[in-house]
Structure 1
Amino acid sequence: MTVIRSAVLRGFRGLVAELGGDAEQLVERVGLPREALDVDEMMTPLASQVALLRLAVAELNCPDFALRLAGRKNIAMLGTMALALKACSTLSEALECAQRYLFMHSPGIRLSLETDPYGTPGVVALRNHVPPDDSRVHRSIEHGMGFLHRSITDLAGEHYGLVSVELPFQPLAPVAVFEEFFGAPVRVERPSAILRLSSRVLELPLRVQSDVHTRHLVEALLAQRLPPGETDLLAPRVRAVIQQLLGTAPTDVTAVARMLTISPRTLQRRLSNEKTSVTILLDEVRQTAARTYLTGSDMPLTQVANLLGLSEQSALTRCCKRWWGYTPSDMRTGALRNVVAPTAQQSGSQ
């Protein structure tokens, strides 16, 4: 049975009351406890949540109920994961983080960043993996897409470069209602549930203040809670270990394997199966941390190099040139941000 955190019901009680209904009666009719309306961490059946949205639409005669409910939420609904997302440097990093840890909100929800289905240059597709052929979940898809939009808005700003919204069904409410909510064209009866974004927005600095230390701590906590079994990817755990060791201890295969209590050979084999390695993950962690230190602080470059576990400042310079084609000093003057981070308004106009 697929479950989801009761945080998805945030705002439900107030919205139902405004529409003249009884929220407690509605949740009881679909088999949910009343307490689910007021706590976030209760794991409840996803099927019951789906049934609740359908019931609310019918009983309250409100065809856009799911969208209205999404509009009452913000990224804080994701709990611990929201802290990690807010501490990312760019939207691309935040989406990658969400893809890794969204299971904590619900194991049945998955996102993926893909090429644009229409092949439009400069556009990428953020796909919400849902069963589009099941009409019972349409209201749940509306709510999920609305909340996804709200979350990105919280991270990247109101004009974050949304090109269009794709829905795999015809909504009950007029399409104009959805276009007003999203601030972008909405296309219905499409193959998948997708937000199409300007690719440039992925490298925009998030509007919230990045805190690399908070992100490292929260991701380490989240990695420890990854579900066991065949679906358990090792790469997020390795990344979290590297983040803990970076700048304070060796980050080679042997050291990482020791922290994970597995053999170096097993570590290398499993990462190879996931198309990555300790070296690749170490480089990714360093790049993320370097961007934060260089664009968000004025600490000496020798200290930045030390925090990244690099032997000397010249090694930092070589890494920056390889990652972005700029020196650390260029980063400090904003040269890189001027190239890859155009204004949100420009991104949204494409």
Structure 2
Amino acid sequence: MSAIPSATGGIARLACARLADSGKDTAALLSKAGLTLNDFRDPAVRLAVTTQIKILELAAKELKDDILGFRLARGFDLRQIGLVYYVMASCENVADALRAAERYSRIMNEGVRLRFDMEGHTSTIALEYVGVDRRGERQQIEFWIVTLVRICRQVTEGRLVPSRLQVRHLRAGMPPEFRTFFGRDVEFGADGDVISFPVPVALLPLVGRDGYLHDLLRRYADEALIRKAPHGATVRSRVEKTLTTLLPHGRGVAKEVARQMGLSTRTLSRKLGEEKTSFVEILDQLRAALAKRYLEEEQLPVSEVAWLLGYRELSSLTHAFKRWTGMTPRQFRSKGKATRYCAVT
């Protein structure tokens, strides 16, 4: 993790889009946060989490909207979150979707950690700030809470009402919009930022699971694997196909692959041994091939590539990629850009 926690900056960009729509001077506001308009427009540029918080607070003041984070989260298309939405929407149930979001938050937002737990009769989604002062911050945390509730409702096609909602910051009163949206009051000034649901809610199956992610990753995998020596209809090829859709969910382990193939872990290991390979070898080689393919997509941040490959930390991808190629992912991407530029010119 870097010394200064960073994030993709998506929430800040939504706030600035709202400013622009209102005819406000976005460049002037960004300069107060130490940013230029050109840098801010580049989706590949990550923002310090403290900078994002400052932009949101400045935008709320400029727009005279004390619940800007809430309104932004209510109004944007959830698909704008990116591939994480499709991973969540292709999970089996709410709990699996939230576990995917938990792993995503570890890589994509260094300053905010999502933690999902099921204990007793209650399932909880807790948000924790890391290396960032939580005191007084309201807009970003309210954006997160609303977004998470919206996702749970959208993937189940039901108006789920939390059994309890707690946030650390204070408000002078309960905004009526909060009560209307959440279906209950929010407890301000609590010891933590927590959304609670009864456990049965977490076990709800997802309705109309979105196949976009499966189709996209299948295409990426086909393109990546065709560059390798073809294996034909082998146990190895079945493992590779299964792993492709399990990795983004953080479930690319031998036990789960074997289960989905209708085998025991021991039988899978034996069959792969007959083909002179192993699960660990296949996983490593598949990740290497997919990493190179994903890095060709310039709109995919390197951190999101790490997440798609099933890693919990960006550093894990960096170390593995150096072992595979002798370069970091960013160096590999830059080299690819230069090669393509020379080919064109």
Q: Kindly tell me: are residues 222 and 102 of structure 1, through their superposed partners in 2, closer, same or farther at Cα, counting changes over 3 Å?
A: farther
In structure 2, C-alpha distance between the alignment counterparts of 1:5 and 1:256, rounded to whole Å: 33
In structure 2, C-alpha distance between the alignment counterparts of 1:48 and 1:172, rounded to whole Å: 25
- Match among 239, 244, 269 for residue 252 of structure 1: 269
1:159-186 CA distances to partner (integer Å, 9 max, x unpaired)? 1242231111213663433222322221
In structure 1, C-alpha distance between the alignment counterparts of 2:64 and 2:35, rounded to whole Å: 21
> SS at 1:162's partner residue?
coil
Q: Kindly tell me: are residues 241 and 37 of structure 1, through their superposed partners in 2, closer, same or farther at Cα, counting changes over 3 Å?
A: farther
1:181-207 CA distances to partner (integer Å, 9 max, x unpaired)? 322221111111111112111122212
> What amino acid sits opposite 1:93 in the alignment?
D
1:293-316 CA distances to partner (integer Å, 9 max, x unpaired)? xxxxxxxxxxxxxxxxxxxxxxxx
1:219-275 CA distances to partner (integer Å, 9 max, x unpaired)? 96799899xxxxxxxx7553699389947997439722222459xxxxxxxxxxxxx
Residue of structure 1 equivalent to 2:187 = 187
- Match among 231, 247, 257 for residue 242 of structure 1: 257
1:307-350 CA distances to partner (integer Å, 9 max, x unpaired)? xxxxxxxxxxxxxxxxxxxxxxxxxxxxxxxxxxxxxxxxxxxx
Residue 82 of structure 1: CA displacement? Answer: 1.8
Tell me which moved more, 67-76 or 47-56.
67-76
1:167-316 equivalent positions in 2, closer than 5 A: 167-171=167-171, 174-211=174-211, 213-214=214-215, 236-238=251-253, 242=257, 246=261, 251-252=268-269, 255-260=278-283
1:336-347 equivalent positions in 2, closer than 5 A: none
Q: Kindly tell me: are residues 178 and 12 of structure 1, through their superposed partners in 2, closer, same or farther at Cα, counting changes over 3 Å?
A: same
Q: Is it true that 1:88 corresponds to 2:91 in the alignment?
A: yes
Are the counterparts in 1 of residues 69 and 143 from structure 2 also a CA contact under 8 Å? yes
- Match among 25, 29, 32 for residue 22 of structure 1: 25
Q: Kindly tell me: are residues 222 and 8 of structure 1, through their superposed partners in 2, closer, same or farther at Cα, counting changes over 3 Å?
A: farther
Residue 39 of structure 1: CA displacement? Answer: 5.3
TM-score (norm 2): 0.60
Tell me which moved more, 237-246 or 171-180.
237-246
> What amino acid sits opposite 2:280 in the alignment?
A
Are the counterparts in 1 of residues 124 and 194 from structure 2 also a CA contact under 8 Å? yes
Structure 2 gaps of 5+ residues are 221-241, 286-345
TM-score (norm 1): 0.59
Residue of structure 2 equivalent to 1:12 = 15
Residue 37 of structure 1: CA displacement? Answer: 5.9
Structure 1 residue runs of 4 or more that deviate by more than 6 Å after TM superposition: 221-226, 247-250
Q: Kindly tell me: are residues 84 and 115 of structure 1, through their superposed partners in 2, closer, same or farther at Cα, counting changes over 3 Å?
A: closer
Are the counterparts in 2 of residues 3 and 43 from structure 1 also a CA contact under 8 Å? yes
> SS at 1:11's partner residue?
helix
Q: Percent identity?
A: 18
Residue of structure 1 equivalent to 2:139 = 139
> What amino acid sits opposite 2:112 in the alignment?
I
> SS at 1:197's partner residue?
strand
In structure 2, C-alpha distance between the alignment counterparts of 1:133 and 1:189, rounded to whole Å: 15
In structure 2, C-alpha distance between the alignment counterparts of 1:258 and 1:179, rounded to whole Å: 52
1:61-140 equivalent positions in 2, closer than 5 A: 61-114=64-117, 122-130=121-129, 134-140=134-140
Q: Kindly tell me: are residues 163 and 56 of structure 1, through their superposed partners in 2, closer, same or farther at Cα, counting changes over 3 Å?
A: same
Are the counterparts in 2 of residues 130 and 141 from structure 1 also a CA contact under 8 Å? no
In structure 2, C-alpha distance between the alignment counterparts of 1:257 and 1:135, rounded to whole Å: 45
Structure 1 gaps of 5+ residues are 227-234, 263-350
Are the counterparts in 1 of residues 93 and 203 from structure 2 also a CA contact under 8 Å? yes
> What amino acid sits opposite 1:52 in the alignment?
I
Residue of structure 2 equivalent to 1:302 = none
1:50-108 CA distances to partner (integer Å, 9 max, x unpaired)? 11111122233221111111112243233122221111121111112222222343133
Q: Kindly tell me: are residues 175 and 244 of structure 1, through their superposed partners in 2, closer, same or farther at Cα, counting changes over 3 Å?
A: same
